[in-house]
Amino acid sequence: MQTDSEPETRATGIGRTTGALLIIANMIGVGVFTTTGYMAGALESPGAILIAWAIGGIAAFCGALAYAELGAALPHNGGEYQLLSRIYHPALGFTAGWVSLVVGFAAPQALFSMTFGDYLSQLLYGEPSQFPTWNPPLVFGMALMISLSLMHAAHMGTGTRGHNLFTLGKVVLIAGFIAGGLFLGKTDYLTTGGQLRALEALRQPIFAIQLVFVSFSYTGWNTAAYLAGEFRNPARDIPWSILIGTATVALLYLGLNFVFLIAAPLPELAAAQNRVGHVAAVGLFGAGAGRFVSWMIVVGLVSTLSANIMAGPRVYEAMGRDFPLLKILTVRRAGGGPVIAILLQASVAALMMLTASFDALLKYVGVTLSIVAGLTVLGVLVLRQRQPELHRPYRTWGYPVTPLIYLGVESWMIYQLIRESTTFAGASSALILLAGAGTLITGLMLYGLIQWFSRRLTPRP
């Protein structure tokens, strides 16, 4: 593996603005437009919903502060793979890379593509009963994912410019939606359930389960760490990109959910489930606005999927440099991205689109990524003790309180899931926890097998 003093250099040269936009694009995806409807039915309190999004935003920002220090001090492509290998052991780093492939990037790509296909199909054909027999949601979603994957494999610069354009458009549209909603919404809807219901919800395991959805929606604040070696000035640009990108999204999420809650009565939002954005737009602006918001979501999903496709393969490429059996993952086209790694990621995502359900996939992603991110944030505390002399161009603001806040929120969420999974009603939570644990164990087993084969194939002196 690379040393700390040898950061990777790339001709592409990502700057601070593109880095921040990458984070914004990777964070604002399907979650914020789909999860609030489910949360409305589960929590039955606007106050509890806003508190959940606020807690998620605070946790994400505290985690981002820690990642900013690690990314500036260890500026290499690979994200948690490189960081956990460096901080703990290569086995944990490899497991994080495996999780990135299956959970961190391929699964969200499948979710984004599935949602894109659903929304676009409804815009073009109306209700699902009117869809053609050739399954347009699957075809549209698969076509978008494959097209963007080929674009990033062929030319890094084209992918960067395209993602910037889509992301700026998405931020402008969301900000406009929030501004309009603040003028036209009805704050009377916020009184549903009352303050006591909100406080009661905070003490229930169901609140922690809703935080899994929120955690997934905030996923992506660590994107810059995956592309650390491709920044022109990692020490300066990585912290700036992570902090500005995360803070921007947290404010947009809080504003957007506040507008959702003053746009329509809570029971209507609960009935809408993953179409909560459409219902809120109709409540605020009329029926025609519902189609506009659906188009906004479609455009936003394009930029989110593009940023996801761009970041993930750098993890597998870094693994290919460290493990001879995976060297094929380092193949690049001139001026393009890691071709084989991008195609592998697209293949796994396509398989998930064909076999997995949306709801189970979303919870699985939220829980598993929280475990890996928690280990990484803990790494800031470990490195401060183990290597106090390490050059740190940026130091975590509020250390050690801010990393501990992130670890506390994530630990509480997982503890409540474990507690709920021991009940009869918590069978689905138990399956999600088992799936997450199984993914981690599989990564450790693969690491052992690769090491064993490498020793067998290495000629003895």
CATH code: domain of residue 318: 1.20.1740.10
Q: Mean pLDDT across the stretch 274-292?
A: 82
Question: Which pLDDT value is given to residue 228?
Answer: 65
Give the range with max mean pLDDT: 23-27, 93-97, 190-194: 93-97
Does residue 11 fall inside a structural domain?
no
Termini Cα distance of the chain: 23
pLDDT over 50 at 222, yes or no: yes
Looking at the 3D structure of the chain, how many domains does it have?
A: 1
pLDDT digits (tens, 9 = 90+) for 130-189: 788 888 888 999 999 999 998 888 765 545 566 567 677 778 888 888 998 998 888 888
Q: Mean pLDDT across the stretch 427-434?
A: 75
Does residue 378 fall inside a structural domain?
yes
Does residue 104 fall inside a structural domain?
yes
Place of tokens 């964070």: 27
Q: Which domain holds residue 215?
A: 16-453
Of the listed ranges 216-220, 390-394, 420-424, the one predicted with least confidence:
420-424
Residue bearing the bigger pLDDT, 232 or 7: 232
Question: Where does the pLDDT of residue 5 fall: very low under 50, low under 70, confident under 90, or very high at 90 and above?
Answer: very low
Question: Where does the pLDDT of residue 194 fall: very low under 50, low under 70, confident under 90, or very high at 90 and above?
Answer: low
Which residues, including other chains, have CB under 8 Å from residue 357's CB and lie 6 or more apart? Answer: none
Does residue 295 fall inside a structural domain?
yes
Does residue 392 fall inside a structural domain?
yes
For residue 291, which of 144, 173, 119 has the smallest C-alpha distance? 119
pLDDT over 80 at 77, yes or no: no
pLDDT over 50 at 7, yes or no: no
Does residue 460 fall inside a structural domain?
no
Looking at the DSSP bridge assignments, the partners of residue 14 are 231
Does residue 9 fall inside a structural domain?
no
Does residue 459 fall inside a structural domain?
no
Dihedral (Cα; 11, 17, 20, 26), 10-degree rounding: -70
Residue bearing the bigger pLDDT, 95 or 196: 95
